[in-house]
Structure 1
């Protein structure tokens, strides 16, 4: 209650300077690991007195938030399940296959969400307006939702729960050097080999061709069905983004140069510890030798693993001298070892905060890694999709844990990795060093995000922060025309030199013949 009253007081104070704004938040991705990044933002905006409307598959349903209206699109989870999206992402071996999956299912999910009655009411009712639109920026999936910015003629802020693809950087003129800042789908980490540099260079061209000549025109065609034919081209709306917020941190992500309207935020979902349920607390307290916490996150569910992988994991966990707490999403775990407790859902942050947890076996999601670092728990990574492989590679490089490959996993490998991380103190020491860097910031992630959101509201956009690069064509930005002009000048100069030399030679020969005669 004290926290609520404090925030209400802050809201009243802030509103003396900033009038309450009407904000539309569009966070359509059916993934709780993404939604938990955005939930604190729309909650805080509501507490500060703004009238907030949110489209989300994971509504808070908090009666205390009287300024918040949530449009529930949780049916999107069923759409994802019906299309086997997660399975297709980690089964597909090609980047093209992964991008195709993300884009096509994104169009399907967004289309169904826009057909929802409560969503249609927003763009069909002429009396509704908003001062700001916040759109989740997620790879190549949510471009259609940018149409709301055009519909309400309001500034647009894009916010991502991790990094973004090349086209999002292009929209704000952010540098995308293929070696210094390779795209997140390439999963490169550390120093790139020559072959990696070639791949990244070619990917920068291939991706842009795919996006600008296929994905974006297709999304634009679908968007016009909902927002009308008078809507500007979706690519032009995309380039009108006032601000882009990226949930990245200096531990996992490569440092990159950003233009002024790209804001880095992190630790958005980190909260104060809550008391554990009695059964979990008793289990952890009664494990003096230590506990291994095993969770593959909300997208890659342990219960969906193949029987071969499951048996290797069970074999490894059963031979550990520690108790194991495993997030297992079904009622029954075949051949469950005696030292393993399973639960369909577990309060991960609170568990990681228990002093008896020695190792966290994780899929390598960004949010899970931030929670592990914050609670000083070393990791064993088992990556599957999107940014997870590069995240775990960085964990290894920094000495905060080890990795195993689920495709070739044997119980001896997993057991050896867990034992090494649990028994060798260097891994925990390195996590502690990373925590000291991660948490040493002038303000919390949510505070930073809300400050910049209100900055855009105050100034009715942020065009003054916009980089000139955002309005340049590919040829202008990379000075292709200048290079071609200078190259042409060099060729012309060489041609003239050769011609003059040839003429001089001929004149000299003629002169010698005249003298001889």
Structure 2
């Protein structure tokens, strides 16, 4: 074969396998970026040309494929202005207040993303993309990017299957056993919990349809006046990648274009820094790892709670690694080591790690299950309370409300989890379930992304329910018809009985007169 022909053939093969993919994760939160970055890296390492829109910048891009950042500059700086916000105050917030709060967060992030000069520069560059992946997190107006590039829309659900995505793809989600993400319920709900869950479900959906979607549609039209209405774009997803798995979350229905990839962000274990490795290797009784995530600043907790935690940690024989956001901690016991950052996944992978004290965030929950480490959850906000409740139900941990922490309660839970092997055994069993899969979750995400591109949006995966108006989907017209017919039938019976009774009474009155 001539060199020119060979070159053309190689280019054709490469073009057939390499796709241009846009990944959009605008939320200025590291936990969200970790997931978006892991997905973007996985696609790039599979040989694709990936463009990542986010508030962060990748300093070590993957070597295979192609990866570039479109950074939403200023987002993190503005977030830092509110760095004194105390997330501990959210623990006692009524979960229904999350509805308007998420409206505010979503509308603000979406508006600033659409207005950002770096996004506008990309839009004006005349580039094309073969697929657009958008984090489904109260940023529905961004679905217009798939319309703009005439590319299949892929949604990514940062959390488990939830009401934010179910209606968008016609996925059934009965509130009788599927709790809303801001409630601390499991699938086994009492009557009162089912009532609250149903009210939250209805309130959330009414809010989306009457307030949130119209606001998102308005800001979308300001930047893309010729785009179809959001009521059309919102229901045009070819695929939903879900950060969940049966080992982590309760099993729930999935339509064909919903794919679980929970655990895909967990990276290969790396060797710990020498000082940390020596600390853990020499911990004869084991190590307790304590982290409240990337948003919560533990130094903002009350003096009372801090003292209770320090006293309880000082009583155990295990060493403690505590992710603490300041340089010093007055009253720190000798068995506690502080740091502003720890390589969490590598610590959880160490055989001497006996317990993870956590806020119950989903990424932390996934990582602790992946490595088979039991947890003591101290949930504060968001889906943390639901994750904590599930850990307790599944027997690999306990949930203790932060407001209820006392030295005695914390000591009791620490001793139970550290000394009773059933919790570690249950965590190990969950880990086995997470690992027992036909292929790695990141490979699954890559396969289905490529599948959607190959099959031009894969419309054959779309269920009919997504095209039905809500009244048809919920059979409200059928129910109304049955109610009206039943009411008419009852009225007819009543009318007939009344006629007969009235006729008989008139006959009896006539006989009496005669």
Same fold (TM over 0.5): yes
Instruction: Give deviations 1:367-410, integer Å, cap 9, x for gaps.
Output: 21222222222111111111111111111122212222211211
Secondary structure of the 2:176 match is: coil
String of CA shifts for 1:215-236, please: whole Å, max 9, x gaps. Answer: 111111122222x221222232
Deviation at 1:174, TM superposition (A): 0.7
Within the alignment, does 1:292 sit opposite 2:291 as a pair?
no
- Pairs within 5 Å for 1:272-311: 272-311=268-307
Shift of 1:81: 4.0
Alpha carbons of structure 1 residues 314 and 15: separation in structure 2 relative to 1, 3 Å:
farther
C-alpha contact 2:39 2:265 (8 A) present in aligned 1 = no
State the partner residue of 2:215: 218
Structure-2 separation of matches of 1:107 and 1:515: 79
Match of 2:87? Answer: 87
- Cα gap change, 1:174 to 1:86, in 2 (>3 Å): farther
Is the Cα contact below 8 Å between 1:364 and 1:391 reproduced in 2? yes
Aligned partners of 1:111 and 1:166: how far apart in 2? Answer: 22
Match of 2:374 in 1: 378
CA distance in 2: counterparts of 1:210 and 1:479, whole angstroms: 21
Structure 2: state its 5+ residue gaps: 1-9
Higher deviation after alignment, 504-513 or 449-458: 504-513
Q: 1:499 to 1:156 in 2, by over 3 A?
A: same
Structure 1 match to 2:98: 98
Comparing 82-91 with 497-506, which one deviates more in the overlay? 82-91
Q: CA 1:167/1:433 → structure 2, altered by over 3 Å: closer, same or farther?
A: closer
SS in 2 for 1:243: strand
Q: What do residues 225-254 of structure 1 show as CA deviations (whole Å, max 9, x unaligned)? A: 22x221222232111111111111213322
Report the Cα offset of residue 509 of structure 1.
Answer: 5.8
Preserved CA contact (<8 Å) 1:43 1:65: no
Partner of 2:38: 40
Q: Which runs of 5+ in 1 are unaligned?
A: 1-11
Distance 1:397 1:496 in 2: 53
How many pairs are equivalent?
502
Q: How far apart are residue 132 of structure 1 and its match?
A: 1.0
Mapped to 1, the partners of 2:216 and 2:445 lie a distance apart of 28
1:55 maps to 53
| Distance in 1, Cα, partners of 2:293 & 2:43 | 28
* 2: CA distance, partners of 1:463 / 1:66: 28
Compute the displacement of 1:47 (Å). Answer: 2.4
Relative to the length of structure 2, the TM-score reads 0.91
Q: Distance in 1 between matches of 2:15 and 2:513?
A: 98
What is aligned with 1:129?
A: 128
- Matches of 1:340 and 1:88, distance apart in 2: 22
More deviation, 376-385/295-304: 295-304
C-alpha contact 2:144 2:233 (8 A) present in aligned 1: yes
Counterpart in the other structure of 1:120:
120
Q: For the residues of structure 1 that align with 2:161 and 2:184, how far apart are their CA atoms?
A: 13
> Structure 1 stretch 90-99 or stretch 388-397: which is displaced more?
90-99
Asked whether the 8 Å contact 1:326–1:341 carries over to 2, the reply is yes
Secondary structure at the counterpart of residue 229 of structure 1? coil
Cα distance change of structure 1 residues 452 and 341 upon mapping to structure 2, 3 Å threshold: same
8 Å Cα contact 2:109-2:139 kept in structure 1: no
* Two-structure CA RMSD over aligned residues (Å): 2.4
